[in-house]
Each structure stands twice: as structure tokens, then as C-alpha cells.
Homo-oligomer: A and B are copies of this chain.
Amino acid sequence: MTLRSRLLLALLPLLPGPVALGVTPVDPLPPQTRTAVSALAVKGVSTTRATEWVRRLTDEVGPRLAGSAGDRAAIAWGLALFRELGFSNVRAEEVPVTAWERGVETAAVVSPFPQELVVTALGGSVGTPGEGITAAVVEMKTLEALEEAVKADPDAVRGKIVFLNRRMARGRTGPGYGATVPARSSGAAKAGPHGALAVLVRSVGTSTSRFAHTGSTSYVPGGPRIPAAAVSHADADLLERLLARGPVTVKLVLGCRSLPPAVSANVLGEVPGRERPDEVVVVSCHLDSWDLGRGAVDDGAGCGIAIEAARLIARAPRRPLRTIRVVLFANEESGLAGGTGYAARHAAELPKHAGAFEADSGTGAPTGFSWSAAESLGPALAAVAELLGPLGAGTLRAGGHGGADISPMAFAGVPLFGLSQESGAYFDIHHTADDTFDKIEPASLDKGAAAFAAMAYAVADLPEIHARPAVPAAHGAR
């Protein structure tokens, strides 16, 4: 999930709290809907093909950074698979993306003791000169501390490498992803105008292994652009200890650079609706990944869930009322061009979107759904959730944006659904070289695919579209 998606979440108007869900005299699910949903939910306790799709994507394509050769291979892979699965209206809808490549990346403490550091460039960072940048390191715990420091001394970071050193906590205590990610996403933008030469950020992630966690960073338009890299925790610890003793000089070499604008694409396929094929429920994930690992957990897992959910629905004895459209979004990690492109291209069609689902929370067991829709949808969701209880996926949480790629549809009132998953280990491998197929939990993906299929089927099969109330236009500004 990107910072942008976190921010969108913050911008969303407050949604109704948990709906009071007493026993209703009338079943909110039509009988045949209930039958179909039950049958789909049951699939979660047997082996589905969800893991197979992740394995094929990661083995046959591997990393797929937006605009790269891997990205193009992934699009071709998705189109071929959708045709193999018999989906209808299989197509790629192109979106323009910025492209960037990594290149060499090394860092070392020069003094007081020579030590190599494990670093990785942040996505979108400029590179250093070929000979690198060698400078004294100044440590700041947070961006707020940086602001304070330059207020007190305008030259506090001038000519230096700023080390943003705040540890992301695992679990629910201490600063989590949302609290630590600003250092990554805007550390360079904040430090550059004060004359800093580069930024090193303690990895935003919880790996206990010596990996650096990448992720996007951005600059202020027209502002200075200084190189930015993440440091592994073990190496950030070393810097912290050395800085506690005295001055530290580091050499940083980054060969990363922006490439000419490129083209990527959302990959779409459909299971046409039984009666209202022009009405749509999107089931989605993002197809792109960072370049360091193979994008198995982020978001190969979500693609396995979404593709398998669509396949399970396609094989159901009775198709839902509306069309299921599976969308593999482009460019979630570094621009959200896929999500914004979809919302723009399909703007006229969004009022006929009964829902949009995204799976982008890794490989953990499903726990339920977040949802943002009209309150009137609550009873039907509760009825489905009850059927998902045996899978452990029966918890509903009102609110949220569903997922980064579908969040641009919020402003058209499209009901949004996010698959909630156990995510204790998610940030251990998030955006690292360690995001590989061996981390996938097949039984959890089976449950996730079944839960996704069941809930999407229900939303696609209800008599009405429960669109959210209109959102003031100002909130729609991106």
C-alpha cells in the first residue's frame, strides 16, 4: 500500500460505523444468491488454484516494475492466462507510467571504521555522481525533528547526509507503517531544500534480516532532487551506535535514474453477468511489483486471490446478475497510474459499478472485509459474513478505501471492498529482495480466494446497487 492510498483514506469522509445487525425477519440474500455464495465459501477449505497463479506469475515473469521489460511480460502473461481461463473481453487498457531503473547501489562507512552497509535506492530517487557522495552523517529521528533542527540552525543538514532513523514497530504498539513511511516518501523532499546532499532512511519495514526495504519517494516539483536510499535495520543500528560515539562519514553510490515515459496497462477479463452484463463488480489486485524480489506477496498473492475468485465464479452453476470484471492494475507501487487510469477511462460507467474489490495485503489468512457503501448494503454483507465465519473471514469493518487501485473510484460513490488479512509478517518482506514464492501460504490463499469470490458474487447478484452517498467534489481532487 502506498502513502498515497493512506492519504486518500484520511481524505475520505467519515463513513457509518458498524451497522447494527440483528436477526432480520427477511433474508437479505435472495435464496439462489445464498446458495451460490455458500457453495463458493466452501471452496476455501479445499485446494484452489490461487497459489498456482502466484507461482506461475513469479516463476514465469518475476519482478515487474512499472514500465520495465518485466512489466510488459506480466501484461502478456495476464492476457494469456485470462484467455486460457476463458474469460470474456480480455484486453489491456494502456496507461502512461513514469519509468525508473535501479543500477548499482553501495554504501559504506568511511570513518571511524570502514564498514559496508546494505542499502537500496528508493523508487524514483535520482542517482549520485559516479564517484558517489561522501559526507558526514547527521541523524534525525523524524521529519519533525528535521524541521526543528533547521529552524534552530539553518545549516544543520547542509552538506551532510541526513539519516532518518525511526524504527517501524511490529504489531500494534509503537509507530507502524503509516507513522514511519513519511520519512521514506518525503525525506528527500524535506531535506533537500536545506542543503542536505542525500538521505538515508532506516528501512520502513519489520524485517529482522539484513534487507533494505525499498518504496517510492518523491520530490517537490521544482525543488532540489537529492538521492535517497533505505538502510537495512542491522546497518541502521550500526550507524546509530557509531553516531553515538562521534562523527561518522559515509560514502553513498547510487546508479538509479529515471527513464523516458513508458506505457503499461491494466489487464482486464470478464465473466459476463447473467442479466445485467453492463453492470459491473471489479475484483482486483495490482500486477506491478518492486524490482528487488519477485512480487510474490506484494501483490502476486492478491492476483492469485482475484484471478481465482473470478475463475470460481465463472465455474459456478449460476452466474451472478452482473458482470465480474477482474482487473490486474498497473503501477500501484510508483504512481497509481493503473487505478487513476481505470477510474478516468471508465468514468461514465462507474455508476453501473455495483462494487470494486481489491486484495493487496499479502499472503495471510483472510479475516473479513472492509467496506464503504450505502448503509443499506449492511444486512446483505452481514449475511455473507456469517457464511464466511467458518473460514475465519467473517469480520466486517465499515470504512476504508478498499485498496489503493480502486480508491479513485470512491469519488464516484462506487462501493469499495478490501480483503482484510492477517498481516503480522507482511512488513517483514514488504518491498525487499525476500519477496519470493516460498513465502506464500497456500491454505490462506485458498481461503482468501473463496471469501473474495463469495462476497463479490453476492454484491454482483443483489437486486440493487448500493452506491455510497455523493462525495463533495473537493474531496475528489487528486
Binding site for B on A (CB under 8 A): 55, 59-63, 69, 112-116, 118, 207-211, 233-235, 237-238, 241-242, 293-294, 433-434, 436-438
Q: Are B55 and A436 in contact (CB under 8 A)?
A: no
Specify which of B59, B118, B208, B211 is in contact with A113 (CB 8 Å cutoff): B59
Rounded to whole angstroms, the CA-CA distance of A450 and B208 in the bound complex is 28
What is the distance, in angstroms, from A292's C-beta to the closest C-beta of chain B? 9
In the complex, the chain B residue whose C-beta lies closest to that of A245 is B59
Q: Compute how far the CA of A242 lies from the CA of B436 in the bound complex, rounded to whole angstroms.
A: 15
Asked if A437 and B234 make an inter-chain contact with CB atoms under 8 angstroms apart, the answer reads: yes
Contact between A433 and B59, CB atoms less than 8 A apart = no
Chain B residues whose C-beta falls within 8 Å of the C-beta of A60 in the assembled complex: 112-113
Q: In whole Å, how far is A114's beta carbon from the nearest beta carbon of chain B?
A: 7
Please indicate the chain B residues that have their CB under 8 angstroms from the CB of A294 in the complex.
115
- Which residues does chain B contribute within 8 Å of A207, judged by CB atoms? 209
Contact A436 B210 (CB under 8 A): yes
Closest to A118 in B: B433
Q: Output the least CB separation between A288 and chain B (Å).
A: 17
The interface residues of chain B lying within 8 Å CB-to-CB of A118 are 433
- A433–B207 CA distance with the chains assembled, in angstroms: 14
Determine whether the beta carbon of A438 is less than 8 Å from that of B62: no
**Residue in chain B with minimal CB distance to A58:** B238
B62 engages A115 (CB within 8 Å): yes
Let me know if A438 and B61 touch, CB within 8 A: no
Residues of B within 8 A of A208 (CB): 438
**Can you list 29 contacts pairing A with B, beta carbon distance less than 8 Å?**
A55-B241, A59-B113, A59-B238, A59-B241, A60-B112, A60-B113, A61-B113, A62-B113, A62-B114, A62-B115, A62-B116, A63-B116, A69-B114, A115-B294, A207-B209, A208-B438, A209-B211, A210-B211, A210-B433, A210-B434, A210-B436, A234-B434, A234-B436, A234-B437, A234-B438, A235-B436, A237-B436, A237-B438, A238-B437
